[in-house]
Every structure is written in structure tokens, then in C-alpha cells.
Amino acid sequence: MMRRLLPAIILVLCCLLIPLAPAASAPDSLHVLDSSVDSEFPLRLVFSIEAESGNPITDIRLMYQMDRMNYANVTSEAWPQFEPSTMVDTSWTWDMRRASLPPGAAMTYWWELRDAAGVVVETIPERVVFSDDRYEWSTLDSDSVSIHWYEGDAGFAQGLSDVCEEAVETLALDVGTRMDRTVDVYIYASSADLRQSMVYPQEWTGGVAFTEYGIIAIGIGPSNLDWGTRALRHELTHLVVHAATFSPFGQLPTWLDEGLAMYNEGEPDESFESLLYSAAGQDMLISLRTLSGPFSSDSQKAYLSYAESADVVRYLLDEHGSTAMHDALMYFKGGETIDEALTMSFGMGLDELEEAWHASLEGELSHA
């Protein structure tokens, strides 16, 4: 009987002790002394923690959730290295060479600690934004987008904001879809500045849509506003279309994804059109089935891939309208195959579409 009483007595003693000894100064309680995040854009984020306990701290883990589209609420874990001790000061570095994050990517993080006595402490979740603080950003908010920029006046930003709002409206008409979150657009002053914001930049990178984050990073100076306007519409289309079709089941054929983005840039680009007509005239068109996968890295073939994609999407919208296009996107989202999705929305599979589109191209060629 005595042995069973003992825990009860200890419990009562503990209860009596608590009001006398506040947690922060109790020598045997596990508590966090300090927690911080240092950001070194674009290379790394360093999460630091300092804690003490009357018993050796044996387990520390960082838990974090990215603010991005997910199929489920995903919590990631990271383990900083340290020797078990009553006093611990350690950190964990998120090396972006393994997972490059866009500027403005946001996440929520907290720490979980445990000591040898089995005491567990969880810190209050905090939000951290991976900002590119090498620049002084200004922000202009409108209905659908937030423009962030650091070079050029307010009129420059207003112009770009108008381009985005207009593109969002056009997309709502063309494909019947809207974003349910605000898009953040980071306007770098040049492509060179943009590339410096990336861990692994590509030579030709002028704009990037980080679709899962709802973030666009793009290099637009006041001197290349025409290019910038088209590029912005292009990337915004990717974002809206990806948000509308985000699902674990399906993927859009590349020609449809890029074709919609090209179509929404505005008036067809003449150099792309002449490339398209000359390839059609020489019977050198790349098949839509090939263009359903990743585009060629060969630049000539890549140009033709974009030109064809833009034109076949224009053909589909002209002939079948935006409701059919919206249906197609929803079938793709649901995981239908390319042929099924096209048949259910446009009444023809990929080969029939290709035939019909080639015929329309030949008609245009003979009139040209």
C-alpha cells in the first residue's frame, strides 16, 4: 500500500511547488532560453535554439510547414546536431542547394524538445518569410496581386499591377478559373538581378512562376517593359492554370500548359508565327504527342514547340470556346488521360486534334 501511495504524495508535492517556483527559474524544468532564425537569401536559413533543463536534453527537432499548395498538411522535421546536455545551444541550417525557395516563401516553424526525464516542451509556432533582403522592396497591393519592386517609380509598379489584374480577368474569361489567394510578384530590375536571386539560375531565365507558392519572380527594367508585360502575363497564366488543376492525379500536357501561357501573352509573336508557318510548309512540325512531354533543350526545337503550343491552343479556343477549355482542364485535374480529357471536352482525341489543326494551318498557309 505504501508503494502505491508514494506517487500520489509526490504528485501533491509537485502541485504545491509549482506556484512557489515559476517555470522559468525552476532548475529542473526543461525550458527554451532563446530561439531565432537567420536568413541569408538565397542560400540558407539558419534556425537556432538554446535550452536548459535539470536533466540532459536528449532530443531536439525542428518542425516546419511551408505555406504552399499541398495535397495534405505536410509537416517536415529536421534534427540539429548536439551532445545531450543540461544546457544546449545548437542550430539547423536549411541549405537551399537542395530545395530552392522563391523570394517571399513563407513557413511556420516550432521546436520540440525532450529531456532524459521524459519532459517534452513544444514552442509556440512562429512564421518566417524567406525574403530577399539584399534589396529594399516596396509593395503595391491590388485585388489579385501584390507587386514587390525596388527600382522604378510608383507609376512603373502601377502599370505592372494593371497588367496582372487584366491578365487575371482575361484568364477568367478564357479558361473560367481564378486564384483563391493573392499572387506575390517580385520584380527584379533586370534578368541579371533575377538570376542572382536563384541558387541554380539558368542562362535564359527571365521569369519564373513558383506555382505551388503563388509567387512569381521576374526581371523587368523600365527599358524592357514590352517584353516584361508579355512575360508577366505568361507566368501569371502558369500560376492560375496550375492552381486550378492542382491535383495528385493528373498533369497537363506541356503543349496545353505552355500554349495557354503563350496565348495569354497577347497578340501572337511574329517571329514565332513565321517559324510555325515555315515548319508547317516543310512538313517539319513536331507532333502533339511529343509536345505533351518536356520540350526539347535544343533552342530551335524549343522555339517551334512554343510556337506550335500557342497556335493549337488558339485553335482550340477559337473553335470550341472557353467552356470546353475549362472542362478539359478539369478532366486533366481528375486524372483522365490526354485522349480521354480531349475527347470529353472537345469531342476528339489527340490524333484527331492534330489532324484538324494541321488542316487549319494549311488553310491559312494557302491564303497567306
> Cα(150)–Cα(79) distance, rounded to whole angstroms?
37
DSSP 246-293: --SS----HHHHHHHHHHTTSSPPHHHHHHHHHHHHTT-PPPTTGGGS
Smaller CB distance to Zn ion: residue 261 or 310?
261
> Cα(208)–Cα(56) distance, rounded to whole angstroms?
47
Residue pointed to by grid coordinates 494551318: 361
Handedness of CA 198, 199, 203, 204 (dihedral sign): negative
The three cell numbers of residue 64 are 516546419
Please, what is the minimum distance in Å from the beta carbon of residue 337 to Zn ion? 23
The three cell numbers of residue 319 are 473553335
Smaller CB distance to Zn ion: residue 258 or 336?
258
Residues in the interface with Zn ion (CB under 5 A) total 2
Smaller CB distance to Zn ion: residue 174 or 258?
258
Please, what is the minimum distance in Å from the beta carbon of residue 240 to Zn ion? 13
What is the four-CA torsion angle of 149, 150, 155, 159, rounded to 10 degrees?
-30
Please, what is the minimum distance in Å from the beta carbon of residue 325 to Zn ion? 17
Q: If you ran DSSP here, which 8-state letter would residue 296 be given?
A: P
Smaller CB distance to Zn ion: residue 71 or 204?
204
Smaller CB distance to Zn ion: residue 150 or 246?
246
Smaller CB distance to Zn ion: residue 193 or 258?
258
Smaller CB distance to Zn ion: residue 50 or 273?
273
Q: Which of residues 161-200 bind Zn ion (CB under 5 A)?
A: none
Q: Which of residues 1-30 bind Zn ion (CB under 5 A)?
A: none
The three cell numbers of residue 123 are 514552442
Please, what is the minimum distance in Å from the beta carbon of residue 220 to Zn ion? 16
The three cell numbers of residue 267 are 497578340
Please, what is the minimum distance in Å from the beta carbon of residue 258 to Zn ion? 5
Please, what is the minimum distance in Å from the beta carbon of residue 306 to Zn ion? 8
Smaller CB distance to Zn ion: residue 148 or 234?
234
Smaller CB distance to Zn ion: residue 207 or 221?
207
Please, what is the minimum distance in Å from the beta carbon of residue 238 to Zn ion? 6
Give CA separation, 226 vs 118, 184, 221, 223, 230, in Å: 63, 20, 10, 8, 7
Please, what is the minimum distance in Å from the beta carbon of residue 255 to Zn ion? 11
Please, what is the minimum distance in Å from the beta carbon of residue 262 to Zn ion? 7
Smaller CB distance to Zn ion: residue 206 or 250?
206
Q: Which of residues 80-119 bind Zn ion (CB under 5 A)?
A: none
Give CA separation, 17 vs 10, 22, 28, 55, 324, in Å: 10, 9, 12, 18, 71
Least Cα distance to 38 among 29, 47, 28 occurs for 47
Q: Of all residues in this chain, which one has the CB nearest to Zn ion in the complex?
A: 261
3-state helix, strand, coil in the chain (%, to 5): 45, 25, 30
> Cα(29)–Cα(52) distance, rounded to whole angstroms?
8
Please, what is the minimum distance in Å from the beta carbon of residue 257 to Zn ion? 7
Q: Which of residues 227-286 bind Zn ion (CB under 5 A)?
A: 258, 261
Give CA separation, 235 vs 49, 105, 232, 357, in Å: 39, 17, 5, 25
The residues of the shown chain that bind Zn ion, judged by CB under 5 A, are 258, 261
